[in-house]
Structure 1
C-alpha cells in the first residue's frame, strides 16, 4: 500500500521546485530535500517524493524494494509532518545493501536534523 494521492509529489515541476529552493541534508544512504511553503492560510497536506536512479541498481526489483521500504516508513511518519511541507528523498548507491531498520534510523535522524521531527 502506497502513500495517499494527496501526499505524493507527482509532477516534474513539483520536484524541480524542491530541488531548486529546498534545504538539503544528507546521510550515508539518503539525501533529503525539504521545502517549507509557509503561508498563514495554507492547509495543503505534506507531500513526499522518492527519487532513485539506475546508479543504485540496474535491477528494477531492487529499486522498487527500496522504494517500498521508504514509502512504508514515510507512511508512519506522515501524520507528524507539518502542513505545506514538500519532501524529496534521494537514494544513494550505497543503499543497495541497506535494510529496513537502517532506512528507518537514517530517515528519523535526517528529519530531526531538518527540524521536521523533534525526536523521542
Structure 2
C-alpha cells in the first residue's frame, strides 16, 4: 500500500524547493532533505531511488516499498509541517528493513521532526 495522498510530495516544484533549500541529514544508507512548510499540518514525503543504487527496477521498488512501510508506521511519531525527501544512497542496495528503520528514526531525530517521547 502506498502513502495516503496528503502525505505525498507530488509536484516537481516541491521536490525542487526541498532539494535546493532543504537541510541535509546524512546517514550510511539514506540522505534526508527537510524543508519546513508552515502551510502544512502534516509532513509530506518523497522517496528518491536513483539508478546508481541499482539498475534493476525490482530492487529499487523493493527499497521504496520498505521505506513507505516505515514512513506509515512512524507517522504518529512525526511532527507536521515539513516536506521531506528520503534519498537512498548506493550503499543501501543490500540493506535490510531493520537498518532502514533504525537509520530513519535517527535521521528524523537529528532533523527535529520526531515528536518528543520517542
Tell me, yes or no, if structure 1 residue 33 matches structure 2 residue 33.
Answer: yes
Give the TM-score normalised by structure 1.
0.91
The answer for the alignment partner of 2:44 in structure 1 is 47
The answer for the alignment partner of 1:81 in structure 2 is 78
Give the TM-score normalised by structure 2.
0.93
The answer for the alignment partner of 2:18 in structure 1 is 18
* Residue correspondences, number: 117
Contact 1:112 1:119 in 2 (8 A): no
Name structure 2 gaps, 5 residues minimum.
none
The answer for the alignment partner of 1:68 in structure 2 is 65
Over 3 Å counting, the alpha-carbon distance change for 1:7 and 1:26 in structure 2 is same
* Aligned counterparts of 2:84 and 2:57: Cα–Cα separation in 1: 23
Contact 1:23 1:35 in 2 (8 A): yes
Q: Report the secondary structure of 2:108's partner residue.
A: helix
Q: Report the secondary structure of 2:74's partner residue.
A: helix
4+ runs deviating over 3 angstroms: none
